[in-house]
Amino acid sequence: MRKVVVALLSAIVVGLMLAMPVSAGKSKVVTVPDSLGDLGKYNVCLIVGPTDAPEVPDPSWGDNAPVMEATYVDMVTVSFGIVRGKYVFSMELAGNLPQAGDPLPPGIRYVGWQWWIEDGPWDPMSTIIPKTYYWVCLELDESGYSAGIYDAANAWAYTPVPFTIDGATFQIEVPEKLLGGLESFWWSACTYVAKEYYYAWPWFTDLIDPGTDQGQVGYDFPWPPV
């Protein structure tokens, strides 16, 4: 059983978080490993409510689809934490992120790397759907990369935030105040692609593996960590 790493930010964690400097103060980071080569294993759009089939491949995508070669949507580790009053979100991927302007897989016009911030865990085996507070996303389309936070309570108002990309790793920084002063919540992460734009039935190419460690429920982890 793989372990969720919960630790005070150290030199090792700083390296994982793109060598972000840390001043005095409380910092905490959670890093979750994810399986390699599992693109398309989970399709949450087809799994809502109790079912005997927890892994349902999207029938519109096959193992030979070009997007299955896009290793930059295959998560290796996912990190979430707080550093110097900012929430930091980072992923290590199985391949380098494409350069802006590089061609995407045929038929794909939009790629995203996303975190959910919710009021409870989302388990596709349950009929209970948690309330979403925010989405935090790195996005890529014809115009290039952007990163921001979407506020569900305010008609999905979008606020751009800083981000950095280094090969197969990226990091997003979100000021603590942009999460509305939330003291506790649940979080999860995914990657996805879409043929037009996000709302045009995105395909979730990768999700955090369920059952990675104590405290995880479905695909979500509690914050503060247990």
Q: Which of the four pLDDT bands, split at 50, 70 and 90, describes residue 70?
A: very high
**Any idea which of 24-28, 48-52, 181-185, 201-205 has the lowest mean pLDDT?**
48-52
**Any idea which of 25-39, 56-70, 123-137 has the lowest mean pLDDT?**
56-70
Closest-CA residue to 86 (of 137, 48, 29):
29
Q: Is the pLDDT of residue 152 over 60?
A: yes
Return the higher-pLDDT residue of 147 and 67.
147
Rounded Cα gap, residues 104 and 66, in angstroms: 9
Pair 134, 151: CB distance under 8 Å: yes
Q: Highest-confidence range of 26-30, 84-88, 128-132, by mean pLDDT?
A: 84-88
Predicted confidence at residue 66, as pLDDT, reads: 76
Q: Is the pLDDT of residue 13 over 50?
A: no
Structure tokens at 11: 């030199």
Give the mean model confidence (pLDDT) for residues 170-196. Answer: 92
- How high does pLDDT run on average in the chain? 80
- Indicate the residue type of 164: T
pLDDT 10s digits, 123-132: 766 777 899 9
Q: Tell me the DSSP string of 141-175.
A: ETTEEEEEEEEGGGTTEEEE--EEEETTEEEEEEE
Return the higher-pLDDT residue of 197 and 103.
103
Helix (H, G, I), strand (E, B) or coil at 25: coil
- Beta-ladder partners of 115: 136, 189
Q: How far is CA 66 from the centre of its chain?
A: 22
pLDDT 10s digits, 38-53: 887 655 443 333 444 3
Closest-CA residue to 97 (of 137, 115, 70):
70
